[in-house]
């Protein structure tokens, strides 16, 4: 294996499972036990999250003799609401619990964090800078999820390609350092001279001198072609980052550079977005999204041979979740047994994704649709 990753075929074979599932298969097979079950994926905790990873789950289970119902990619959901249901003989999917949860936990975690940050940023652009914080084999997944959550661009070339975007970026400290201290203007001019003109001129202004001094130098060096300065102030120097940004803004404005934006990166999370969104032109966000806490989904059998069952802490019976068209709020959705009559004027969220092992044509994995779904729901969710 190159780069210590697992090839697709091992995932599809169920080799990335936990050993106790293979042992369970051995015991159930030996004893002739293989009940017809319904299993549901839910999470506990509080507050809203965004569902993602369904396309990978669909390809994992495609061809198995199961039916799968799921909420659409990009749906906001709440604790205890089933986001996915699998129906079939337990041995048909037992070993796939581990990879299935892996896809949903990891991808939903990144999309949820990206959505939280983008909602706070409002119209201020947020660019995903975080693939450097994770194993490179995950780059495309990370950037897909960051974009799905509403981020406006991604810096990773392979990730952008997979999404069908042009990658977005500025310049690293290494470019400035290669020209050397005192040669920052030469480095910025070289960038302006060499790089295709459609690439925005955003100069990194914190390598050797303080942010204000370098921002003034960059504006003098590039003049009207300068779109923005990037401040990536290291934590050892950050102090009052908002104060530094306001000082740079003042210094640029009084010199006639009111059109030069201030783009910030380095340790940007929800709190920094709230504090800085009114005075910056954009954010580069890495760790807080790429390394987002996963959503702790669990898969539980909740029906066996048509009868409700559940372990302690879980709710038995195959369910449906209904949502009204208005405000999305925890406790407002209606969760009922799937066999009960649906409530009036509410939409069922769980829809067929796989029928007898075949992915349902109507089930859409369109990234743009899912991204639009996230943004539409964020306007309705009561926080
Ligand atoms: C980092 C680089 C990343 C930013 C910060 C993400 O700065 O610019 O894109 O930071 P975060 O993960 O804390 O959100 P450096 O490490 O100084 O890298 P470079 O010189 O390449 O900008």
Q: Can you give the residue ranges of every domain in the chain? A: 8-109+293-378, 122-290
Q: Whose CA is nearest to atom 18 of ligand 1?
A: 172
Express each pLDDT in 107-160 by its tens digit: 999 999 999 999 999 999 999 999 999 999 999 999 999 999 999 999 999 999
DSSP state of 35: -
Structure confidence at residue 2 (pLDDT): 74
- Would you state the structure tokens that stand for residue 288, as one six-digit string? 């807080």
Q: Which of 114, 129, 169, 276 to mutate to test the pocket of ligand 1 (most atoms within 8 A of CB)?
A: 129
For the cut 80, the answer to whether the pLDDT of residue 162 exceeds it is: yes
For the cut 90, the answer to whether the pLDDT of residue 104 exceeds it is: yes
Q: Which of 204, 234, 265, 289 to mutate to test the pocket of ligand 1 (most atoms within 8 A of CB)?
A: 265
C-alpha 282 to ligand 1 mean position (Å)? 14
List residues near ligand 1 (CB under 6 A): 129-130, 133, 172-173, 232, 265-268, 284-287
Q: How confident is the model at residue 102 (pLDDT cuts 50, 70, 90)?
A: very high
Tell me the C-alpha distance between 121 and 125, whole Å.
7
- Would you state the structure tokens that stand for residue 112, as one six-digit string? 């949820």
Structure confidence at residue 114 (pLDDT): 98
Express each pLDDT in 305-326 by its tens digit: 999 999 999 999 999 999 999 9
Domains 8-109+293-378 and 122-290 share a fold: no
Beta-bridge partner residues of 86 = 39, 68
C-alpha 238 to ligand 1 mean position (Å)? 14
DSSP 158-192: HHHHHHT--------HHHHHHH-TT-HHHHHHHHH
- Return mean pLDDT, the chain: 97
C-alpha 236 to ligand 1 mean position (Å)? 14
Tell me the C-alpha distance between 219 and 225, whole Å.
9
Tell me the C-alpha distance between 316 and 337, whole Å.
9
Please check whether residue 245 is in contact with residue 226, taking contact to mean a CB–CB distance below 8 angstroms: no
Three-state DSSP state, 87: strand
Please check whether residue 60 is in contact with residue 103, taking contact to mean a CB–CB distance below 8 angstroms: yes
**What percent of the chain has pLDDT above 90?**
96
C-alpha 174 to ligand 1 mean position (Å)? 11
Express each pLDDT in 210-254 by its tens digit: 999 999 999 999 999 999 999 999 888 889 999 999 999 999 999
Q: Which of 232, 238, 270, 283 to mutate to test the pocket of ligand 1 (most atoms within 8 A of CB)?
A: 232
Express each pLDDT in 59-95 by its tens digit: 999 999 999 999 999 999 999 999 999 999 999 999 9
End-to-end CA distance of the chain: 45
For the cut 80, the answer to whether the pLDDT of residue 341 exceeds it is: yes
Please check whether residue 207 is in contact with residue 214, taking contact to mean a CB–CB distance below 8 angstroms: yes
Top-level CATH class of 8-109+293-378? Answer: alpha beta
Q: Note if the pTM is more than 0.75.
A: yes
Structure confidence at residue 46 (pLDDT): 83
Please provide the CATH number assigned to the domain covering 122-290: 3.20.20.70
């Amino acid at each position: 294996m190159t780069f210590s990753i697992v090839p697709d075929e091992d995932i599809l074979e169920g080799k990335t499972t936990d050993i106790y599932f293979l042992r369970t298969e051995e015991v159930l097979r030996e004893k002739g036990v293989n009940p017809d079950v319904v299993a549901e994926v839910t999470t506990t905790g509080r507050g809203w999250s965004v569902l993602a990873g369904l396309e990978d789950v669909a390809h994992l289970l495609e061809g198995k003799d199961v039916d799968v119902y799921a909420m659409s990619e990009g749906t906001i959901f709440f604790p205890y609401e089933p986001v996915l249901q699998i129906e079939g003989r337990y041995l048909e999917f037992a070993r796939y619990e581990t990879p299935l949860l892996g896809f949903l936990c990891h991808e939903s975690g990144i999309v949820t964090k990206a959505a939280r940050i983008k909602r706070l940023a409002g119209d201020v652009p947020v660019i995903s800078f975080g693939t450097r914080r994770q194993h490179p084999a995950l780059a495309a997944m990370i950037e897909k999820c960051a974009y799905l959550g509403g981020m406006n661009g991604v810096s990773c070339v392979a990730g952008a390609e997979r999404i069908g975007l042009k990658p977005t970026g500025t310049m690293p400290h290494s470019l400035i350092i290669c020209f050397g201290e005192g040669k920052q203007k030469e480095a910025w001019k070289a960038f302006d001279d060499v790089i295709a003109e459609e690439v925005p001129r955003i100069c990194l202004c914190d390598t050797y001198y303080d942010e204000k001094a370098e921002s003034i130098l960059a504006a003098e060096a590039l003049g009207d072609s300068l779109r923005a300065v990037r401040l990536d102030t290291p934590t050892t120097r950050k102090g009052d980052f908002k104060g530094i940004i306001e000082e740079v803004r003042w210094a640029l404005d009084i010199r006639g550079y009111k059109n030069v934006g201030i783009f910030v990166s380095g340790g940007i999370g929800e709190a920094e977005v709230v504090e800085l969104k009114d005075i910056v032109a954009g954010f580069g966000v890495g760790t807080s999204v790429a390394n987002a806490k996963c959503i702790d989904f669990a898969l539980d059998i909740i029906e066996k041979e048509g009868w409700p069952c559940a372990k302690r802490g879980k709710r038995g019976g195959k369910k449906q979740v209904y949502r009204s068209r208005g405000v999305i709020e925890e406790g407002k959705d209606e969760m009922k047994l799937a066999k009960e009559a649906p409530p009036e004027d509410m939409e069922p969220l769980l829809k067929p994704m796989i029928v007898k092992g075949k992915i349902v044509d109507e089930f859409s994995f369109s990234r743009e649709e899912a991204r639009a779904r996230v943004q539409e729901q964020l306007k309705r969710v009561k926080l």
